[in-house]
């Protein structure tokens, strides 16, 4: 599907940002106050640095785009050994590091989505994914005499050490020796989990109900002033995964998604069952049906809340156009995200079931959602189904002449497991960091 321009010269929205640093069996026992303080400080620092980057105009006089903002945030997460990506990546069963990353934009780039996997020598895999996306503007063009390699050609997913290192060198990205990704903490988790597997037999070395073994990712979702949403995600994968295993992080629709579509309603934001019912009846009667003042008052008297009549869009010359955009990043057990195509399931519910993205996200990643259901009776015993999703939704309402009547954006999050590291900037510009429900640490006011 081709995505039409949103006539950005008339659309200026407030940039938004949310990041995450993994989800899973993150209990209070695993994360005592001093350790949570380290994560809290890191999350708020990365959020503040990225917010400054996002709101500082560049040489062209414009603010950085959503792609630049999201990948900036994730590169900072990759450089922090606290998180399971980049320098903090977990080990495979064979004691190696195999990294994955992905980016996707709602519009503005021909490829729209790129994933990389099996990365062993690229310092920041997220920057490689971004470079492949950006070079897609040329790679997808047909021109005589253009060499096919080394380039990503039209491909959207690139796998393997040799290929990813070659492309990184071509794009001028920093490469490192595999030893760069070693951290003692991750090595100890790798060894201890294998020992537990030997001792306890039935317990897999990828998850434990006693301690937190990283099986999540790092990610960021950004909205820019032109209404583009972007998701960027990076991971080392599951602790003690099989070498060669590819998870949800580089798989479009499983661990990440970004897109936009036109909606007949108001995007689920502010709509009610009353509105939906009246809209449905009038839709079946046809666009020529109007509601008199008297009938409006009668409906308000007879129907349940809300009692205020909401003007309904009409078809034809007086119609309004509602465009919704959503981007989301998942974290948790990647095999489960793959099983239910988690992120594409969110956007499918929002688009075709007429749910708000918040409702759709919770239906997949929230308690008793589709991710949890996918584990069956193994829930709580194997790590299956555990995870969370962060996202941003934008709704733009335009008048008959294309003029912007209203814009609404919302930062979204939900999870079904013990905890999820995340941080975001709220509507008032204040920073927040959380790992458990209701424990929000409010940071400073970010400008």
- The answer to whether the peptide bond before residue 237 is cis (omega within 30 degrees of 0) is no
- The answer to whether the peptide bond before residue 150 is cis (omega within 30 degrees of 0) is yes
**Mean pLDDT for the chain overall:** 85
Task: Label residues 117-153 b or e (16+ Cβ within 10 Å = b).
Answer: bbbbbbbbbbbbbbbbbbbbeebeeeeeeeeeeebbe
Q: What is the pLDDT of residues 403-427, one digit of tens each?
A: 999 999 999 999 999 999 999 999 9
331 among annotated binding-site residues: yes
387 among annotated binding-site residues: no
Higher pLDDT, 407 or 197: 407
pLDDT of residue 306: 39
- DSSP one-letter code for 420: E
Query: How big is the chain, counted in residues?
Result: 447
Higher pLDDT, 166 or 31: 166
- DSSP one-letter code for 149: S
**pTM to 2 decimals?**
0.85
* Domains of the chain, earliest start first: 9-96+203-265+320-445 (3.60.20.30), 268-312 (no CATH)
316 among annotated binding-site residues: no
Give the mean model confidence (pLDDT) for residues 183-211.
Answer: 71
Query: What percentage of residues in the chain have a pLDDT greater than 70?
Result: 78
Q: What is the pLDDT of residues 98-141, one digit of tens each?
A: 999 999 999 999 999 999 999 999 999 999 999 999 999 888 87
Single out the catalytic residue among 69, 217, 233, 249: 217
Higher pLDDT, 201 or 182: 182
Higher pLDDT, 212 or 272: 212
Give the mean model confidence (pLDDT) for residues 149-167.
Answer: 91
**Residue 443 banded pLDDT, cuts 50, 70, 90:** low
pLDDT of residue 4: 47
Query: What percentage of residues in the chain have a pLDDT greater than 90?
Result: 66
333 among annotated binding-site residues: yes
Beta-bridge mates of residue 419:
24
**Residue 149 banded pLDDT, cuts 50, 70, 90:** low
Contact 84, 235 (CB under 8 A): yes
Closest by CA position to 351, among listed 235, 261, 220 = 261
Give the mean model confidence (pLDDT) for residues 387-411.
Answer: 95
245 among annotated binding-site residues: yes
Of 116-125, 189-198, 333-342, 403-412, minimum mean pLDDT range: 189-198
Give the mean model confidence (pLDDT) for residues 203-232.
Answer: 78
pLDDT of residue 266: 53
pLDDT of residue 3: 43
Residue 352 has pLDDT above 90, yes or no: yes
Closest by CA position to 413, among listed 385, 434, 438, 391 = 391
Give the mean model confidence (pLDDT) for residues 132-153.
Answer: 76
Residue 286 has pLDDT above 70, yes or no: no
Residue 17 has pLDDT above 70, yes or no: yes
Specify whether the backbone of 301 is left (phi greater than 0), alpha (psi in -120 to 50) or beta: alpha
Closest by CA position to 51, among listed 406, 362, 411, 358 = 411
334 among annotated binding-site residues: yes
pLDDT of residue 25: 87
Instruction: List the 404-415 sheet strands across, edge first.
Output: 256-263, 321-332, 387-398, 404-415
Of 14-28, 161-175, 254-268, minimum mean pLDDT range: 254-268
Task: Label residues 272-307 b or e (16+ Cβ within 10 Å = b).
Answer: eebbeebbeeeeeeeeeeeeeeeeeeeeeeeeeeee
Residue 291 has pLDDT above 90, yes or no: no
Q: Name the residue with tokens 């399971």.
A: 84
Active site residue 217: yes
């Amino acid at each position: 599907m081709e995505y039409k321009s949103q006539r950005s010269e008339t659309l200026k929205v407030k940039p938004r940002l949310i990041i995450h640093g993994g989800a899973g069996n993150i209990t209070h026992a695993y994360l005592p106050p001093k350790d949570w303080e380290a994560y809290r400080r890191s999350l708020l620092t990365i959020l503040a640095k990225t917010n400054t980057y996002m709101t500082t105009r560049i040489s062209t006089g414009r603010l950085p785009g959503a792609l630049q903002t999201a990948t900036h945030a994730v590169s900072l997460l990759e450089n922090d050994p606290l998180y399971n990506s980049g320098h903090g990546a977990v080990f495979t069963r064979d004691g190696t590091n195999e990294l994955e990353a992905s980016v996707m934009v709602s519009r503005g780039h021909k490829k729209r989505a790129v994933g990389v996997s099996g990365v062993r020598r690229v310092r920041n895999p997220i920057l490689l994914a971004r470079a492949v996306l950006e070079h897609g503007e040329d790679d997808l063009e047909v021109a005589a005499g253009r060499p096919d390699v080394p380039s990503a050609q039209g491909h959207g997913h690139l796998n393997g050490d040799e290929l990813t290192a070659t492309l990184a060198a071509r794009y001028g990205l920093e490469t490192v020796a595999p030893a760069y990704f070693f951290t003692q903490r991750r090595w100890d988790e790798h060894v201890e989990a294998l020992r537990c597997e030997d001792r306890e037999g039935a317990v897999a070395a990828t998850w434990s109900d006693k301690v937190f073994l990283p099986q999540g990712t790092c990610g960021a979702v950004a909205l820019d002033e032109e209404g583009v949403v972007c998701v960027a995600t990076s991971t080392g994968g599951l602790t003690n995964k099989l070498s060669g295993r590819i998870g949800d992080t580089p798989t479009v629709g499983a661990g990440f998604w970004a897109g936009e579509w036109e909606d007949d309603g108001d995007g689920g934001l502010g709509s009610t069952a009353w509105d939906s019912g009246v809209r449905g009846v009038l839709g079946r009667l046809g666009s020529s049906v109007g509601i008199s003042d008297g009938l409006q008052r009668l409906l308000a008297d007879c129907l349940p809340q809300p009692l205020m009549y909401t003007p309904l869009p009409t078809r034809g010359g007086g119609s309004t156009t509602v465009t919704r955009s959503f981007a989301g990043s998942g974290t948790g057990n990647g095999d489960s995200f793959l099983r239910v195509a988690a992120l594409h399931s969110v956007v499918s519910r929002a688009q075709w079931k007429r749910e708000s993205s918040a409702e759709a996200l919770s239906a997949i990643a929230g308690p008793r959602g589709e991710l949890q259901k996918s584990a069956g009776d193994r829930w709580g015993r194997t790590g299956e189904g555990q995870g969370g999703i962060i996202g941003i939704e934008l709704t733009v309402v335009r008048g008959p002449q294309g003029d912007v009547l209203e814009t609404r954006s919302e930062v979204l999050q939900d999870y079904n497991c013990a905890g999820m590291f995340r941080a975001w900037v709220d509507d008032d510009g204040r920073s927040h960091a959380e790992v458990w429900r209701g424990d929000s640490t409010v940071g400073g006011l970010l400008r």
